Chain A
Amino acid sequence: MQSFTQKIRLKVSRLRQLIVESLLPRESHHIGCSLSILDIVTVLYYSILRTNPKKPSDPDRDIFILSKGHGALAVYAVLYEKGFFSKDILMSYDRDGGKLPEHITHNISGVEVSTGSLGHGLPIGSGFALSFKNDRKDNKVYVLMSDGELNEGSNWESIMFAAHHKLSNLIAIIDLNGYQGYSTTEKVLDLSPLSEKFQSFGWNVHTVDGHNYEDMRLLFQKIQSETNTKPNVVIARTVKGKGIPFFEGKFESHYLSIDEETKKTILTQLQRN
Chain B
Amino acid sequence: MRNAVINEIYKLMKNDERIYFLTGDLGFHVLEKIEKDFSKRFINVGIAEQNMIGIAAGLALSGKKVYVYSIIPFVTMRCFEQIRDDLCYHDLDVTIIGVGSGLSYGILSGTHFALEDIAILRSLPNMTIFSPADEIEASQGIRAFNNYAHPIYMRIGKSIEPQIYKDSYEFRIGKSVVLKKGKDIVIFTTGSISHEVLKSAHLLKIQNNIDVMVINIHTIKPLEIKRIKEFIKDKKIIVSVEEHGLIGGLGSIILEIFSDNYINRNILRIGTKDHFIKEIGTQAYLRKILHLDANGIYDQIINYLHNEK
Contact = CB atoms under 8 A, between A and B. Distances in A.
A259 B86 CA distance: 35
Interface residues of B, number: 27
Given A154-B51, A161-B45, A161-B51, A123 B58 contact: yes
Interface in A100-131: 106, 112-117, 119-120, 122-131
Contacts of B58: 123-131
Interface in B60-105: 60-64, 81-82, 85-86, 89-90
Main secondary structure of the interface of B (DSSP, over half): helix
B54 A126 contact: yes
Contacts of B45: 157, 161
B57 A124 contact: yes
Nearest to A112: B61
B136 interface: no
B226 interface: no
B152 to A, nearest CB: 18
B49 to A, nearest CB: 9
Interface in A140-170: 153-154, 157-158, 160-161, 164-165
A126 B86 contact: no
B43 interface: yes
B48 interface: yes
B50 interface: yes
Interface string A237-255: 0000000000000000000
B85 A127 contact: no
Contacts, number: 90
A167 to B, nearest CB: 10
B54 A114 contact: no
A132 interface: yes
A265 interface: no
A165 B81 CA distance: 25
A120 B61 contact: no
A157 B46 contact: yes
B53 interface: yes
B223 interface: no
Contacts of B36: none
Contacts of B309: none
Contacts of A153: 50
B247 interface: no
A116 B50 CA distance: 16
Contacts of A160: 46, 48
State the 7 A-B residue pairs at the shortest beta-carbon distance, nearest first.
A127-B58, A123-B54, A157-B51, A157-B48, A127-B55, A154-B50, A131-B62
Given A134-B40, A161-B51, 6 more contacts: A114-B89, A120-B85, A123-B57, A124-B55, A157-B50, A165-B43
24 contacts: A112-B61, A115-B85, A116-B85, A123-B51, A123-B57, A124-B54, A124-B58, A126-B58, A127-B54, A127-B58, A127-B59, A127-B60, A127-B61, A128-B59, A128-B61, A128-B62, A131-B58, A131-B59, A131-B62, A132-B62, A134-B40, A154-B50, A157-B50, A158-B51
